[in-house]
Amino acid sequence: MGRAAMIIGMITVENLTKRYGDYTAVDDVSFVCRPGQVTGFLGPNGAGKSTTMRIIAGLTPETSGTALVGGRRYRDIPNPATQVGVLLDASAQHAGRTGREILRLSAMTMGLPMRRVDEALAMVSLTDEESGRRVRNYSLGMRQRLGIANALLGDPQMLILDEPANGLDPAGIHWMRTLLRDYADRGGTVLLSSHLLHEIEIVADDIVVIGHGRIVAQGTKQELLAGAGTRVISTNDEALGQALYEAGLHAAPAADGGFTVDAAPVDVGAVALERRIQLIELRPGDGARLEEMFLQLTQRTQRDQRPAPDALSFGGQS
């Protein structure tokens, strides 16, 4: 893929800042979302996630810095929904219209053939009966599916989704994960905000962690979880613990046996092999480690904050 094609499909945020009086909601934020990748956007409530995404989507003006989609500001893109699909609040849909009516109006606005409505409904598994209901009668999970259908309607190259798994049951979360992974594997760019850390770990390629409006960590999933270490259990944990200590590796006993070691699995395995200690389990740190990393990185920003004014008017999440 050439440089021009990469820029077309990229979401680029540079030195983005948003202030409301003396309150700074977003503070000098920079990151890039690339084609073919899912970028997970993590942070506690009030961290600035939704404000950042609203700026990218042209709904909130920045104080300084830039947020570009495909090399342009959202408001400068002709027929933007055909380039970038956005879902920021699934409840912000006309309750008196049916799901199909909402998609038909969107298709008309974008100048799309009506067959795209049926295709989008099929993509999110909303049946004819469900799409014929008034949105006021939808569950939150159904509203999420309709919102994702609307985001996909214009066959965009980029997706910006804020907490799209809210209201979905486990089967729905698995469906969404598969849909987004397939979309990225076909070259699409995904910026995904979620508080479901395990889901982010499964689906994301890159991770951006924000706290109190500032980026506290970013990189590939592998880079950020490298510190999550290794989970190891042996037939002789006492001997293994001593061997790891003598090898200079920090090992913390785990509640269910074995250790969590601040080292790569290959290094832990080499120590056990040298001492001829039989291992029962040897693997990278599990999903709980992402939560552990998240809490460690954001512990100084885990506090109640007054939400930005635009967040109050748009569902209250940030």
Are 114 and 36 within one domain? yes
CA 264 to chain centroid? 26
224: Cβ contacts below 8 Å, ≥ 6 apart:
207, 209, 217, 218, 293
- 176 and 138 within one domain: yes
Cα angle at 262 between 38 and 285, to 5 degrees? 45
- Is residue 80 included in any domain, yes or no? yes
In percent, the amount of the chain with pLDDT more than 70 equals: 86
98 shares a domain with 76: yes
Domain count, the chain: 2
Domain that holds residue 268: 230-284
In this predicted model, what pLDDT tens digit does every residue of 208-252 receive, in sequence order? 989 889 998 898 887 776 656 788 999 999 999 999 999 999 888
* Residue 52's CATH number: 3.40.50.300
Is there a single domain that holds both residue 209 and residue 259?
no
pLDDT tens digits, residue range 131-167? Answer: 999 999 999 999 999 999 999 999 999 999 998 888 8
Does the global pTM surpass 0.85? no
Q: Same domain, yes or no, for 181 and 144?
A: yes
Q: What is the largest CA-CA distance in the chain?
A: 70
Q: Are residues 125 and 237 in the same domain?
A: no
Tell me if 317 is assigned to some domain.
no
Of 165, 190, 152, residue with least CA distance to 53: 190
User: What's the pLDDT score for residue 317?
Assistant: 44
**Are 130 and 240 in a shared domain?**
no
**Helices assigned H by DSSP within the chain:** 3-8, 49-56, 99-110, 115-123, 128-131, 140-152, 170-185, 197-203, 221-225, 237-246, 265-274, 288-298, 309-312
Q: Are residues 150 and 268 in the same domain?
A: no
Query: Is residue 291 domain-resident?
Result: no
Show which of 175, 190, 220 is a domain's final residue: 220
- For residues 23 and 133, state if they share a domain: yes
214, 235: one domain: no
Q: Does residue 248 sit in the same domain as residue 187?
A: no
Q: What angle do CA 310, 176, 100 make, to 5 degrees?
A: 75
Q: Categorize the per-residue pLDDT at 197 as very low, low, confident or very high, splitting at 50, 70 and 90.
A: confident
Question: 40 and 123 share a domain?
Answer: yes
pLDDT at 44 over 60: yes
The pLDDT score that the predictor gives to residue 230 is: 85
- How much is the mean pLDDT over the chain? 86
What is the per-residue pLDDT across 290-311, written as a single tens digit (0 to 9) for each?
Answer: 666 666 666 655 544 444 444 4
